[in-house]
Amino acid sequence: MEFVLVGQPNCGKSTIFNSIVGYKSVVSNFPGATVGFTKSSLVLDNNEVDIIDLPGTYSFQTTDEAEVAALDYVMNLSDDTLIVNILDASVLSRSLELTMQIMELQRPMVVALNMIDEAERKGISIDEKALSSFLGVPVFKTVGRRGEGVKELFGESFTLYNKDKEKLLPKTLKYSKSIEETCKNIEEILKANSVSEKWNYRFMAIKFLEKDVFVSQYFQDSLKEGELEKIKSIVEKLGKETKRNPAFIVSSFRHDISFRAFEKVSKFNREKEKKSFRDKLDNILMHPLGGYITLTAIIAIVFLVIFKSAEVLENVVGLIDPGEYLESVFKGDTFWDVLFLGIYEGFWGGVEIGLCYLIPFFILISFLEDSGYLPRIAFLLDSLMHKIGLHGLSVIPMILGYGCTVPAILATRILKSPRDRFITSVLTTLVPCSARMIVILGIIGALFSFKAALGIYLLNIIIVGILGRFMAKIMPEKSAGFILEIPKYHLPSLKSIANKTWFRLKEFVIIAIPLLILGSVVLRYIDFFGFKEGINSFLSPFVGGVLGLPPQVGLVLLVGILRKEDALILLASSAFGLKDVKEVFNAGLMSSTQMYIFTVFVTFYVPCVATVAVLIKELNFKRAMYITGATFVLAIILSVLVRFAGLLF
């Protein structure tokens, strides 16, 4: 058996999912073609059941890939499925609009009235029995954030389902006479074409009325020639009769029914409405002026906390690093020793970045996300992002990019248009991730000043802006515009922050760490077989001639493709046989200009292999290669500019 959670964005669906699944079972992410949904399992009355968290959708009228993924999933449910529709009780009227569409599937379902505490705070009280009899299915009240009612929701609906699942079938909504007649005509065509019965004909007929592009593509193969056109002409006929676009007749009908249902089952009592400080928070945080001041302050605090905590954590992690011990046991003089040390190095490198940089970063970001501040950043920066041809939502993946590029690229899925997603992915790859942060802080921060390191960040932001503008010029806008729900503020729960941090960290562990290991092993063998000199001299025309760096750096730059943070350690150890970058600088092996060139080049050139892998997965091979090539060219141009700037001073 399978539970499928369906609900609108911000309804607390994932919170309920996490609260029932907990840490005991492994949450696995199954990315589909482009949009993922989460699946896990749960033990109820000694039965193992699957539970699936679909991406949040406002409706099944599809305009983006997340909605298509959700629609595709609910259209092809297995027979042994119970739909759990989660509603935000504080916006019941709008939430019911999706419920109406789920009801059209005519599948066993239950409804969870989530965030019931939020609704009460707004002075709304809901009669769940009245709602239940209106919908024809059981209704449960829950507060997902505190886990209230969640066990009952799954336990009781499981029992009800096993007793008699027919009883969990919802009522059928009646539309106006003309809509009903049109639906019937379409249903007859579907029947005559013996379209598979697994799809509910009525649901399909309504989708045709809505002119859903996805659904008509779906039926291209199952319908005989000319039948699709026949359906389309029936729909157009309705449009002519009613003088309205059929696509919107159904949705406004549902809107009206939802509103009437809402008025029928709920009571609003102004006296019970509680205004809290949360309502006043936006007077500062979204103030046309104060909003930007607080935003700058918050970002500054986030970075300061990460820099400082990384410093402390690196020392702590350094204490338990078994590296020196392992090097003394495995001398690195046999083939297997080298393999082992390579694996260890890659793994430990990943552990260091993960523990020292990513965990603090993800904790802070998850806090901002759960508190509801991220959408407000999108609001505040929308006009700025418009200047580079994107809109506010693109800011979110780019902010995540300061942690690790891999989950950041995955986060571009929140963008609706493929064009926006492509441009944002390109810009996100350029945002210095924590591995690059290590290089920037370790070279520029350590040798010159903290301010100089910030200068590199500023340079990066400017370049990202220019490039974004350039890309927007060559890919003219055709996006759906900026519409975003701004959720209420919430005090994030520790459990949810831990979950999210773990989830993002896992994307890093699964995709990045194996590649880090591969990179280190390759590097070790290059050294072992004595290829180092050969590679360096092969690269020297480029490294020396174009970039103006010492030839020893060649291999270091090559390795940086695999592991960017390694560039820092290797610059000292592998290239010059010294302990750290300070020694290299003090020995006069590299000038300050060369240090800047090196840092700029490493910051901008070719995304690491893990990023390329995720770009291929999210975009396609060709586009990933374009991005890789373009960043390389960009890095060369900038490095050469730094080189000439160095000559002037």
Q: Which residues of this protein are in contact with other proteins, per CB under 8 A?
A: 58-59, 61, 63, 90-91, 93-94, 97, 122, 211, 247-248, 251-252, 255, 282, 286, 288-289, 291, 375, 378-380, 382-384, 386, 391-392, 480-488
Task: Collapse the DSSP code of 32 into the 3-class scheme (helix H, G, I; strand E, B; otherwise coil) and give the result.
Answer: coil
Distances, alpha carbon 391 to alpha carbons 386, 425, 480, in Å:
5, 14, 10
The smaller minimum CB distance to other proteins, of residues 291 and 403, is found at: 291
User: What is the distance of C-alpha 482 from the center of its chain?
Assistant: 18
Minimal distance, residue 566 CB to other proteins, in Å: 42
Task: Collapse the DSSP code of 113 into the 3-class scheme (helix H, G, I; strand E, B; otherwise coil) and give the result.
Answer: strand
Angle between the 553-562 and 513-528 helix axes, to the nearest 10 degrees? 150
The smaller minimum CB distance to other proteins, of residues 27 and 98, is found at: 98
The dihedral formed by the CA atoms of 626, 628, 629 and 632, expressed in degrees to the nearest 10? 150
User: What is the distance of C-alpha 128 from the center of its chain?
Assistant: 34
Minimal distance, residue 481 CB to other proteins, in Å: 4
Minimal distance, residue 64 CB to other proteins, in Å: 9
Q: Is there a contact between 205 and 190 (Cβ–Cβ < 8 Å)?
A: yes
Structure tokens at 626: 């374009």
The smaller minimum CB distance to other proteins, of residues 58 and 330, is found at: 58
The smaller minimum CB distance to other proteins, of residues 261 and 523, is found at: 261
How would you class 635 by CB atoms within 10 Å of its CB: exposed for 0-12, middle for 13-18, buried for 19 or more?
buried
Q: Is there a contact between 210 and 251 (Cβ–Cβ < 8 Å)?
A: yes
Minimal distance, residue 17 CB to other proteins, in Å: 22
**Which segments within 249-404 are labelled E, that is strand?**
266-268
Q: Which residue in this structure is represented by tokens 């994107």?
A: 390
The smaller minimum CB distance to other proteins, of residues 338 and 378, is found at: 378
Cα–Cα distance, 169 to 502 (Å, whole number): 37
Minimal distance, residue 460 CB to other proteins, in Å: 23
The smaller minimum CB distance to other proteins, of residues 29 and 176, is found at: 176
Distances, alpha carbon 223 to alpha carbons 226, 414, 466, 638, in Å:
8, 33, 49, 57
The smaller minimum CB distance to other proteins, of residues 162 and 245, is found at: 245
Q: Which of 451, 453, 410, 459 is nearest to 614 (CA)?
A: 410
Minimal distance, residue 390 CB to other proteins, in Å: 11
Minimal distance, residue 292 CB to other proteins, in Å: 9
Query: What is the total residue count of the chain?
Result: 649
Cα–Cα distance, 59 to 258 (Å, whole number): 13
The smaller minimum CB distance to other proteins, of residues 247 and 636, is found at: 247
Minimal distance, residue 381 CB to other proteins, in Å: 9
Secondary element (H or E) of residue 200: none
Q: Which of 122, 96, 112, 108 is nearest to 148 (CA)?
A: 112
Minimal distance, residue 274 CB to other proteins, in Å: 14
The smaller minimum CB distance to other proteins, of residues 315 and 383, is found at: 383
Residue 510: CA atoms inside 13 Å, Cβ hemisphere, count?
12
Q: Which residue in this structure is represented by tokens 């410093």?
A: 311
Minimal distance, residue 95 CB to other proteins, in Å: 10
The smaller minimum CB distance to other proteins, of residues 35 and 627, is found at: 35
The smaller minimum CB distance to other proteins, of residues 61 and 428, is found at: 61
Write down the H helix ranges in 320-416. Answer: 323-329, 335-353, 359-371, 374-387, 395-400, 405-411
- Opening angle at CA 53, ends 65 and 101, nearest 5: 65
Minimal distance, residue 310 CB to other proteins, in Å: 34
Minimal distance, residue 187 CB to other proteins, in Å: 23
The strand pairing partners of 267, in sequence order, are: 125
The smaller minimum CB distance to other proteins, of residues 129 and 244, is found at: 244
Minimal distance, residue 115 CB to other proteins, in Å: 12
The smaller minimum CB distance to other proteins, of residues 124 and 584, is found at: 124
What are the backbone dihedrals phi and psi of residue 111, each rounded to the nearest 5 degrees, phi first? -120, 135
Minimal distance, residue 368 CB to other proteins, in Å: 17
Cα–Cα distance, 184 to 327 (Å, whole number): 76
The smaller minimum CB distance to other proteins, of residues 401 and 487, is found at: 487
Q: Three-state secondary structure along 146-191?
A: HCECHHHHHHHHHHHHHHCHHHHCCCCCCCCHHHHHHHHHHHHHHH
The smaller minimum CB distance to other proteins, of residues 35 and 443, is found at: 35
What are the backbone dihedrals phi and psi of residue 64, each rounded to the nearest 5 degrees, phi first? -140, 175
How would you class 232 by CB atoms within 10 Å of its CB: exposed for 0-12, middle for 13-18, buried for 19 or more?
middle
Minimal distance, residue 393 CB to other proteins, in Å: 10
Q: Three-state secondary structure along 537-559?
A: HHHHHHHHHHCCCCCCHHHHHHH
Minimal distance, residue 94 CB to other proteins, in Å: 5
The smaller minimum CB distance to other proteins, of residues 90 and 639, is found at: 90
Q: Is there a contact between 101 and 210 (Cβ–Cβ < 8 Å)?
A: no
How would you class 131 by CB atoms within 10 Å of its CB: exposed for 0-12, middle for 13-18, buried for 19 or more?
buried
Q: Is there a contact between 554 and 535 (Cβ–Cβ < 8 Å)?
A: yes
Neighbours of 28 (CB within 10 A): 10
